[in-house]
Amino acid sequence: MPAPRKRWPLSARVLIAVILGTLLGIWGGTEPYLFRLDNGDLGQLGLLVIRLLKALAVPLILFAILDAFLRVPITARAGGRLVAVCLVNVSVAFAIGLTLINILEPGAAWRGRLEQLAAKVAAPGEPPKSAAGASLDPLQNLSGYIPQSLVEPLVSNNVISVVLMALLFGAALGWFKERQNEADSVDIRPLAGLISAAYQVLVKVLGWVVEVVPFAVFGLVAQVVGKAGIGIFAELASFLGIILLGLGLHGLVYYPLAAWLAGAKPPGVYLKGSADAVLTAFSANSSLAAVPITLRCLQRMEVSDQSARLVVCAGTNLNNDGVTLYEAMTALFLAQAMGGDLGAGQQAVIVFSALMAGAGIAGIPEAGLIVLPLVLAAAGLPETVVALAIPLVAPVDWIIARVRSGVNVLSDMLVAILLESWERRSSESER
């Protein structure tokens, strides 16, 4: 039999698609070039694939959590460890962001030029995005996660509501499983088989969809580059540069070091093993769309299913380091541009607001940009600055948002690795 053909890894195919899409976007812009086809049409076709991927990812999360409860009990101790690791990671993110902004003071480059820059870079004819439904109030966010019906979270792709439902029903399934041999216990084996089969079917379908992701990436990148162009980077270079520096230090320095020192995964292994999921999230502008690929990457890195599913499926909305870092750095940058010198108390308010934003905006497209005015207002910045924020940031947010998504995936990968290492050491010490 002939040897199976060796395929290029998904990360390489996505990277090629990004490069080709960028070149086509620069060349074609927004003008039609082939049978009246333009880059906008390619982007719409690519968006269909990403939409399908995100639609399948939500039920995958539901069945992955249920199946995990049936296979291995998910303990409260593991959940507590997950929260602890996430808090450490987001604390490091804030430390990096605040240090960069306070030492380098990049916002000074915009001082006295806010209105001039906003008028120059704002896209004409595009209404500002609304933050309707988004809030920094923890109780209001919590109430939004409690569904009015069991099908509502699946229909609206509300990830946190789906996770809460899955944890509730999964705990019930685990309870019945432990009492399976008791005389008055319900026989859940047929249901367990159905859940396992549904999970495996979803994994297979998602595997097929993932194969066409590079083509979707090609169209999406061509669309955004053709629309936004690359000349805008010169005007917004100081803002874009400091945000990408903060995200880069957190995602490409802290995460690999933590995975190596605390999780026994060398930086090369961690970054190479994460490449497929990171590039998918970067291209699709969604860490949710990368969930099935993230699970596959963790499996290749020999992380247990229990740790991988707990983090990627149940805990993914705790790992929004990219969004929280971006919100805090942007608020401080604009405060510097306004000429203000925020004290420790005001910076603490920004940090808390960014943390609430990261936890409260699951499933909202362009979430980081949409809730930015809420964070700025909570920091006490004038209404004029809050009103100028989105026109100033939006032209380069398409690239920042994709980097944020990649950082969030790297965070999921790291937390799963650290949780696995923590659980392994605890098991060995108990023997």
| pLDDT of amino acid 254 | 96
**Which residue ranges form the domains of the chain, and what is each CATH number?**
10-424 (1.10.3860.10)
More confident: 233 or 198: 198
| Contact yes or no for 414/251 (Cβ under 8 A) | no
Residue range 299-328, pLDDT digits in tens: 999 898 888 888 887 666 666 788 888 888
Percent of the chain with pLDDT over 70: 80
**What is the C-alpha separation between 62 and 143, in angstroms, rounded?**
20
Name the region of 298 (left: φ>0; alpha: ψ -120 to 50; beta: rest). alpha
* Pick from 50-64, 108-122, 249-263, 353-367: least confident: 353-367
| pLDDT of amino acid 273 | 92
| pLDDT of amino acid 255 | 95
Q: Which two tokens stand for residue 107?
A: 């916002």
What are φ and ψ of residue 397, in 5° steps? Answer: -65, -25
pLDDT of 177 strictly over 90: no
Residues 6+ apart with CB under 8 A from 330: 239, 243, 372, 375, 376, 389, 393
CA Rg, the chain, in Å? 22
| pLDDT of amino acid 132 | 47
What is the pLDDT averaged over residues 265-283?
A: 90
* Pick from 58-72, 112-126, 341-355: least confident: 112-126
**What is the C-alpha separation between 17 and 104, in angstroms, rounded?**
35
Looking at every residue in the chain, the average pLDDT score rounds to 79
| pLDDT of amino acid 131 | 47
Residue range 16-25, pLDDT digits in tens: 888 888 888 8
pLDDT confidence tier of residue 81, bands split at 50, 70 and 90: confident
| pLDDT of amino acid 258 | 94
| Contact yes or no for 188/177 (Cβ under 8 A) | yes
| pLDDT of amino acid 38 | 83
pLDDT of 274 strictly over 90: yes
| Contact yes or no for 324/96 (Cβ under 8 A) | no
| Pairs from 111-120 (Cβ < 8 Å, separation ≥ 24) | 111/336, 111/337, 111/338, 111/339, 112/339, 113/337, 114/334, 114/337, 114/338, 114/385, 114/388, 114/392, 115/388, 117/235, 117/236, 117/392, 118/388, 118/391, 118/392, 120/235
| pLDDT of amino acid 1 | 45
Helix/strand/coil for 34: strand
**What is the C-alpha separation between 184 and 191, in angstroms, rounded?**
17
pLDDT confidence tier of residue 62, bands split at 50, 70 and 90: confident
Helix/strand/coil for 192: helix
pLDDT of 335 strictly over 90: no
pLDDT confidence tier of residue 363, bands split at 50, 70 and 90: very low
Residues 6+ apart with CB under 8 A from 110: 117, 238, 239, 333, 336, 337
Q: Which stretch of DSSP H or E encloses residue 59?
A: helix 39-71
Tell me the whole-structure pTM to 2 decimals: 0.77
